[in-house]
Amino acid sequence: METGPLNILVVDDQSSVRELLKAVLESDGHTVDTAVDGESAVERLRAGFHDLVITDLRMPGMDGIAALERFKQLSPETGVIMMTAYASVETAVSAMKLGAFDYITKPIDIDEVQRVIGHWMEGTPELDEGERDEVALATDIVGASDALRDVLEIAHRVADSDASVLLLGESGTGKDVVAREIHRSSGRVRKPLVAVNCSAIPEGLLESELFGHEKGAFTGAVRQKLGKFETADGGTVFLDEIGDMSEALQAKLLRFLQDHIVQRVGGSKDVPVDVRIVAATNKDLEAEVAAGNFREDLYFRLNVVTITLPPLRDRDGDIPLLLDHFLRVHAPSGGKPKKMSPSAVRVAMNYEWPGNVRELENAVQRAVVLSRGQTIFPEHLPARVQASADGGEGAAVTGGKTMREVERDTIIKTLRQTDGNRTHAAKILGISRRTLQNKIKEYGIDL
């Protein structure tokens, strides 16, 4: 049963609703994140654990029902409460069937919100070992390659220990997904998984974000704030891009790892906190240590267990599985997932995917948007992926062609496929119409 403060995500396109709920729920002691629509809410949930999502039903783009389905795919253990000004039996039944706990009506009644949250907390039992195994099956990891299986074997083996884990790998390989898998497979699954991107938060704010602050600790600190470590008490903290942390904060993180005591900025009270640390970076930390950019003692504290994620180019057999997965994830709202033609699959298999799984997902999402029918063909993929069909990108790659020649040929091919429609060709190539015009002029293309 959830009894402590919650991590809550409020999703609504009306700023007044977001601000009202954030103020009220934070005054109740909860940590509140906000999103303006379904798409950004999915990204928030993908980036870090939330106990509860309170989302509007009617929003531009991805509506509440579609968002609910994505929430349950990404984090089955997260509770969802719907908000609607269009209350009806049909709406409530649809939401409940898809996994929503309850729904509330607009205009917002704060007492009703607090009552429904209370009911959700009372009805959320601790999971026993068998139930935890079922939750762990709801993984975001897609693939069957030996390289990926090796990663999962280590992740599951280490999950139930409290050992710090260091995830290494190129950008886009899915380090955040493996961090979630470790948390879901652990005894901490009913407690928060809190993610912090150390490179995305200014150094001056990161200390407060991690350790919290007292009221009046600095200009703008109008109330006490719990840091991520306190918020995640009993759970897991995922420190992404740990290699970008400043030297001063490295020292403070080291102290925390040694004694698990938090002292908020501007405070003097020691607060014991029980969290498990999973850190990640795409940097070579051993080289950073040798260069004096990263503390050696912190490095050894973090890499009790190191898991290196393979790049997608070493997971060839997983590419068709990932393509199928992302076609389902990005299926048109209310429609059937599109299909990838055999030729498009071959092109995707031939590409190196320097951006790894993240780049592949973006390419699939783009293709779904640009293709008018139910089948995706090579021309719907980004130009750099299409170029791989002739041997890849780079100087002197396709029968002695330079990169400029490959680019020129790709533009000509795309213009012919679109009967010279430059607007359509620019969309397929993933560039603006003005950029395409400049390229046509630069290469002297005359169809």
**C-beta pairs of 408-411 under 8 Å, 24+ apart in sequence:** 408/443, 408/445, 410/383, 410/386, 411/383, 411/436, 411/439, 411/440, 411/443, 411/445
| Tens of pLDDT, residue by residue, the chain (447 residues) | 455 688 899 999 888 899 999 999 998 888 999 999 988 898 888 777 788 999 988 888 888 888 888 888 777 778 899 887 754 445 555 666 677 887 787 788 888 888 888 878 776 444 444 433 333 333 467 887 888 888 988 999 999 899 999 999 999 999 998 998 899 889 888 888 898 999 888 877 888 889 988 888 777 777 888 889 998 999 999 999 999 999 999 999 999 999 999 988 888 888 999 999 999 999 999 999 999 999 999 999 999 999 999 999 998 778 888 998 889 888 887 678 899 888 888 899 889 999 999 999 999 999 999 998 899 999 999 999 988 765 444 333 344 455 567 678 778 877 877 778 887 777 666 667 777 888 888 888 886
Orientation angle between helical segments 403-417 and 422-429, nearest 10 degrees: 130
User: What does residue 125 show for φ and ψ, rounded to 5 degrees?
Assistant: -80, 160
Respond yes or no on whether the N-terminal peptide bond of residue 5 is cis (omega within 30° of 0): no
Question: In CATH, what class is 313-443?
Answer: mainly alpha
User: What does residue 163 show for φ and ψ, rounded to 5 degrees?
Assistant: -65, 140
Contact criterion met (CB below 8 Å) for 216 and 266:
yes
What is the DSSP secondary-structure string of 244-303? G--HHHHHHHHHHHHH-EE--BT----EE---EEEEEESS-HHHHHHTTSS-HHHHHHH-
Domain span(s) for CATH 3.40.50.300 in the chain: 131-308
Residue 22 backbone class (left: φ over 0; alpha: ψ -120 to 50; beta: rest): alpha
Query: What is the CATH number assigned to the segment(s) 7-122?
Result: 3.40.50.2300
131-308, CATH topology level? Rossmann fold (3.40.50)
Domain span(s) for CATH 1.10.8.60 in the chain: 313-443
